[in-house]
Amino acid sequence: MKWSIPITEGMHPGNLGCQACGGALSMRLALKGFGPDTIAVIPACCWSIIDGPWPVHALQIPVFHTAFETAAVVATGIKAAKAYQEKDVTVVAWAGDGGTFDIGLQALSGAAERNEDIVYVCYDNEAYMNTGIQRSSSTPIGAWTTTTPDERPELRPKKDIMGIMAAHAIPYAATACPAYPEDMLRKVRRAKETTGGMRFLHVLSVCPPGWKMSSERAIEAMRMAVRSRVFPLYEVVDGEDTTITYMPEEPVPPEAYFEMQGRFRPLLDDPDQLDQVKALIDKKWRSLVARHEATHGSPVAAD
Amino acid sequence: MSERHLLTGNHAASYGAMLSRAEVISAYPITPQTTIVELLSELVASGKLDAKFITVESEHSAMAACIGAAAAGARTYTATAGQGLALMHEMLHWAVGARLPVVLTNVSRAMAPGWSIWSEQTDILSQRDVGWMMLFAGSVQEAQDFVIWSYRAAEQVYMPAMVSMDAFILSHTSEPLLVHDQDRVDAYLPKFRPLYDLDPSEPRAYGGLVNRDHYFEIRHKMYEAMERAGSVLAEAGAEFGEVLGHHYGPVEAYHMDDADYVVVTAGAMSSNVRAAVNALRDRGVKVGMLRIIVFRPFPFAEVQTQLAGRKKIAVLDRNMSPGHSGIFAAEVRSALSAQGVLPDVFGYVLGIGGRDIRVETVFDVVDDLLTRDRPERALYVGVKGLPIGPARTDGEVHPIEPLPAEVTP
């Protein structure tokens, strides 16, 4: 068997991530793809902690920690300086879902609209996990968080951040998940190598404490998110050309994904809402398949 | 060759950034600042200034882009006003904590609501405690020169600096401007070579988590840097005189040698105060002017030396800290009390929201100063229908309702 994941590491062995942290795993994989000539910008998010307290630094690349809403624009400033100095370096904004979907959306949209030469990675654990599990606009419908308690769980579907980014017609946008490392690494490399503007990666990253599940099933949960079509793996080029990069041969029912996690108990207790959620997943999947077929002129082949 | 041009304060600030060879400029339009960055974008587009120009989507992002670029080793510049400076506030703190010598020009303007684009210094003074060096320009020449002077000092102490220029009175008024010879500015202000850079060959983390064991010490270094900044600014101001012909310092003393009465000012109002001082001297009133140029770090020694032993001091504040007094008056009192010498300091609040501060207004203030026995915290000058006087305490407020009987003991 050929080992397709590089053994080189961009992270040091220790970090402050929780057990089975999807965000830490996403970073580890991403740095294998971005390589050493990379500068990261980290706004307020779990990774502000995971990196470690001064003088500890878990990464083998320079990191500029910044304010919550500024990842995209600080990366823009760094890239401008490096371009002025004629230094070739990949500048990566590395933000959580709160810093991307919510408070950072304005700066993100600005950078995307200007088509800045940066890579923006959102590691998405679907709530404000660092502050103790409060809902964000990435929190899926029917989920429990500390601000969407069982009596009033999340009522709105997850914001379509990929749709928003595609609407900016940036050269490259993709979803990824560290439970599919080869797919993710390929997309990281493509993001690094794509020229002509901004690249965006939306990386589903499991959070066992926030998702209310045991950590030994973390990878399995992310796989189930993909296999149930809750979180399809795909990429969008120039805001238009769409490719589903992983086609589950036999999709699993979304309940199988929801049932692994305590946070979806309110949803599972409400058959009507569960039906609505499943219909929504199906509708979004069909729309994605239609865009794939429109791009490629042929049906999606199963992996 | 240096050249003399008739230019507005805003365009002078643009020339200041150009002569300083700013490398990354990021800005968002706001009246009355806009023409600063309009001209800079033209200078960059035409190749007269070799820089990256980032047209961000907010002032918050303008400061954040400057912070990223400065952290990556570039000399950075932005300009803003009023609401824009307020929106930057969080990132102004970031620039200080990250020890980045960003320079910005603030065209000082009144805060909304109601909407007012006119002159007032409350916007910039609201950033007093952040840790930026703060300079108040009093002429079009200074609007240009203070940008250059600021970089010279900021890059020595790794603290950012902001230059205040009064809305319209300076920003949109044309005066003869000496545009310095580029070679001489280059000699005064060499290329910025930071101690630290975001360099993949030296992978450090900047600005991350810091425990209670270390935070205070890191901040203490910042406080020490601001203490050093005063002498660095003074030295750099003297060098400016040697290399570029204008000597700058933390204060300007005008007719102060024998003055019994002193009017303390900042910014563009100083021109009319100078004219008023001349006229009052002709009438035999021994009055002088002390203009505060560097507000942060505060020039304690100069203010104490200049004001000790005077009979009465009038501080003119084109700003207000509600519930306290004009901010310069509070600062001057604090500087004098630190020395233990306490001439009477009369605080005058005037010119709010762009209301004119005329030579006659200064006459009114000095007349009031000469006749008033007791100093007041804040005397309001020019409120329609009211004489110069303190705020009324019998104004209309909603009366406090009596407490319900069940909660009273």
- Nearest Cα of chain A lies from the Cα of B217 at a distance, in angstroms, of 12
Which option is the CATH number for B251-390: 3.40.50.920, 3.30.420.10, 3.30.1360.120, 2.40.50.100? 3.40.50.920
> Does B307 reach chain A within 8 Å, measured CB to CB?
no
Cβ-contact B138, B165 below 8 angstroms: no
Q: Degrees (nearest 5) of the Cα angle B192, B197, B201?
A: 135
Which residue of B26, B51, B57 is in closest CB contact with A77?
B26
Number of domains in chain A: 1
Residues of A in contact with B70 (CB under 8 A): 77, 81
State the 10-residue block means of pLDDT for chain B, 409 residues long.
Answer: 94 98 98 98 98 98 98 98 98 98 98 97 98 98 98 98 98 98 98 95 96 96 97 98 98 98 98 98 98 98 95 97 96 88 91 98 98 95 96 82 82
> Does B107 reach chain A within 8 Å, measured CB to CB?
no
Residue of chain A whose alpha carbon sits nearest to that of B93 = A67
A124 part of a folded domain: yes
Cβ-contact B170, B9 below 8 angstroms: yes
Q: What length does chain B have?
A: 409
Which residue of A79, A81, A106 is in closest CB contact with B73?
A81
Question: Of all helices (H) and strands (E), which one includes residue B261?
Answer: strand B261-265
pLDDT for res A1: 56
Question: The domain at B3-196+212-244 falls in which architecture?
Answer: 3-Layer(aba) Sandwich (3.40)
Provide ipTM, 2 decimals: 0.96
Which residue stretches of chain A have pLDDT < 50? none
| Best mutation target, A82, A94, A105, to test chain B (most B CBs within 10 A) | A82
| A31-68 tens-digit pLDDT | 999 999 999 999 999 999 999 999 999 999 999 999 99
A6 part of a folded domain: no
Cβ-contact B303, B293 below 8 angstroms: no
Which residue of B68, B204, B205 is in closest CB contact with A78?
B68
Contacts of A68 (CB under 8 A, 6+ apart): A43, A44, A45, A98, A99, A103, A104
> Does A35 reach chain B within 8 Å, measured CB to CB?
no
A45 part of a folded domain: yes
| Best mutation target, B24, B75, B91, B198, to test chain A (most A CBs within 10 A) | B198
Contact A80 B54 (CB under 8 A): yes
Residues of B in contact with A75 (CB under 8 A): 68
Fold agreement (B3-196+212-244, B251-390): yes
pLDDT for res A298: 82
Contact A73 B68 (CB under 8 A): yes
How many Cα atoms sit within 13 Å of B296 on the Cβ side? 22
- Nearest Cα of chain B lies from the Cα of A60 at a distance, in angstroms, of 6
Task: Return the CATH number at A203.
Answer: 3.40.50.970
Residues of B in contact with A57 (CB under 8 A): 203-205, 208
Tell me which residues of chain B, numbers 344 to 403, contact chain A at a CB-CB cutoff of 8 Å: none
- Nearest Cα of chain A lies from the Cα of B128 at a distance, in angstroms, of 21
> Does A268 reach chain B within 8 Å, measured CB to CB?
no
Contact A81 B61 (CB under 8 A): no
In this complex, how many residue pairs, one in chain A and one in chain B, have their CB atoms less than 8 Å apart? Answer: 155
- Nearest Cα of chain A lies from the Cα of B65 at a distance, in angstroms, of 4
A40 part of a folded domain: yes
> Does B56 reach chain A within 8 Å, measured CB to CB?
yes
Cβ-contact B167, B351 below 8 angstroms: no
Domain containing residue A75: 22-296
CA distance A264 to A273: 11
> Does B196 reach chain A within 8 Å, measured CB to CB?
no
Which residue of B64, B74, B203 is in closest CB contact with A81?
B74
A261 part of a folded domain: yes
Residue of chain A whose alpha carbon sits nearest to that of B91 = A67
Q: pTM of the full predicted structure? A: 0.97
Which residue of A61, A64, A84 is in closest CB contact with B200?
A61
pLDDT for res B401: 86
User: What secondary structure does DSSP assign to A109-135, as a single string?
Assistant: HHHHHTT-S-EEEEEE-SSBTTTTSB-
**B245: which 2 tokens?**
């012909």
Which residue of A39, A60, A80 is in closest CB contact with B198?
A39
Contact A36 B65 (CB under 8 A): no
> Does A45 reach chain B within 8 Å, measured CB to CB?
no
Contact A63 B91 (CB under 8 A): no
Contact A85 B74 (CB under 8 A): yes
Contacts of A179 (CB under 8 A, 6+ apart): A206, A219, A220, A222, A223, A226
Residues of B in contact with A76 (CB under 8 A): 54, 56, 65, 68
Residue of chain A whose alpha carbon sits nearest to that of B193 = A85
Cβ-contact A51, A59 below 8 angstroms: yes
Extents of the domains making up chain B: 3-196+212-244, 251-390
Cis amide leading into B32 (omega within 30)? yes
Strands B287-292 vs B312-317: parallel, antiparallel or unpaired: unpaired
> Does B191 reach chain A within 8 Å, measured CB to CB?
no
A303 part of a folded domain: no
Work out the number of other CB atoms within 10 angstroms of the CB of residue B152.
Answer: 23
Contact B68 A66 (CB under 8 A): yes
Which residue of A57, A64, A110 is in closest CB contact with B198?
A64
Q: Which residue is listed with tokens 């909603």?
A: B398
CA distance A233 to A226: 7
Residues of B in contact with A106 (CB under 8 A): 57-58, 61
> Does A192 reach chain B within 8 Å, measured CB to CB?
no
CA distance A35 to A47: 19
Q: What length does chain A have?
A: 303
> Does B408 reach chain A within 8 Å, measured CB to CB?
no
**Helix extents (H) in B189-326:** 215-244, 269-282, 300-307
> Does A76 reach chain B within 8 Å, measured CB to CB?
yes
Contact A76 B51 (CB under 8 A): no
Amino acid at B48: K
> Does A106 reach chain B within 8 Å, measured CB to CB?
yes
Residue of chain B whose alpha carbon sits nearest to that of A59 = B203
> Does A74 reach chain B within 8 Å, measured CB to CB?
yes
pLDDT for res B406: 85
Which residue of B69, B203, B207 is in closest CB contact with A81?
B69
CA distance B109 to B121: 6
Question: b vs e for B215-252, b when ≥16 Cβ sit within 10 Å of the residue's Cβ?
Answer: eeeeeeeeeebbeebbebbbebbebbeebbebebbbbb
Residues of B in contact with A36 (CB under 8 A): 200
User: What secondary structure does DSSP assign to B87-98, as a single string?
Assistant: HHHHHHHHHHHT
Residues of B in contact with A59 (CB under 8 A): 203, 205
Work out the number of other CB atoms within 10 angstroms of the CB of residue A107.
Answer: 31
